[in-house]
């Protein structure tokens, strides 16, 4: 699969509602998984928050989003997701973006089987990299 660059929207606790709205606007297939389903450590009251939502539209749009647990900050400059299975390219881009960045989640094996990491670059833009397992 080729690498994709797509928007990743960050919410505090309204991701499900927002992504369902976008599905109604753009059409397509929406998948949603929660923090509780993923095994990611969050406060018990946050288990039902959206860890990852993905909307694929008939027009070829790919829109992703998630809630942000209280232990993390919401990026105010937006978040960009890079995903695919070309590990060499994705690691190279991660390394480049890491220069002067604020670390978030280290680029390592995630509970869902892929390699995943998050950082905020030197300009305040959030980046998520997901290398398909």
32 vs 49: CA distance, rounded Å = 10
Fold of the CATH domain 75-133:
3.30.720
SS3 call for 21: helix
The label of the residue with tokens 């995630």 reads 110
In this structure, of 44-48, 68-72, 104-108, the range with the lowest mean pLDDT score is 68-72
Mean residue pLDDT across the chain: 88
Q: Which two tokens stand for residue 53?
A: 């939502």
Largest CA distance in the chain: 39
Domain boundaries, the chain: 7-72, 75-133
Residue 30 pLDDT: 98
Phi (first) and psi of residue 57, to 5 degrees = -100, 160
Q: Does residue 2 carry a pLDDT above 90?
A: no
| pLDDT tens, position by position, 50-92 | 999 999 998 788 989 899 888 887 666 678 888 889 999 899 9
CA dist 125 and 89 (Å) reads 20
More confident residue, 20 or 80: 20
Identify the CATH number of the domain defined by range 7-72.
Answer: 3.10.180.10
């Amino acid at each position: 699969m080729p690498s994709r660059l797509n928007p990743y929207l960050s919410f505090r606790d309204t991701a499900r509602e927002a992504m369902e709205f976008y599905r109604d606007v753009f059409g397509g297939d929406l998948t949603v998984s929660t923090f509780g389903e993923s095994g990611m450590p969050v406060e018990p009251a946050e288990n039902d928050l959206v860890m990852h939502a993905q909307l694929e539209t008939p027009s070829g749009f790919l829109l992703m989003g998630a809630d942000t647990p209280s232990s993390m900050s919401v990026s105010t400059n937006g978040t960009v997701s890079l995903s695919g299975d070309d590990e060499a390219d994705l690691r190279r881009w991660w390394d480049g973006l890491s220069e002067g960045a604020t670390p978030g989640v280290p680029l390592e094996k995630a509970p869902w089987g892929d390699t995943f990491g998050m950082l905020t670059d030197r300009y305040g833009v959030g980046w998520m990299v997901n290398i398909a397992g």
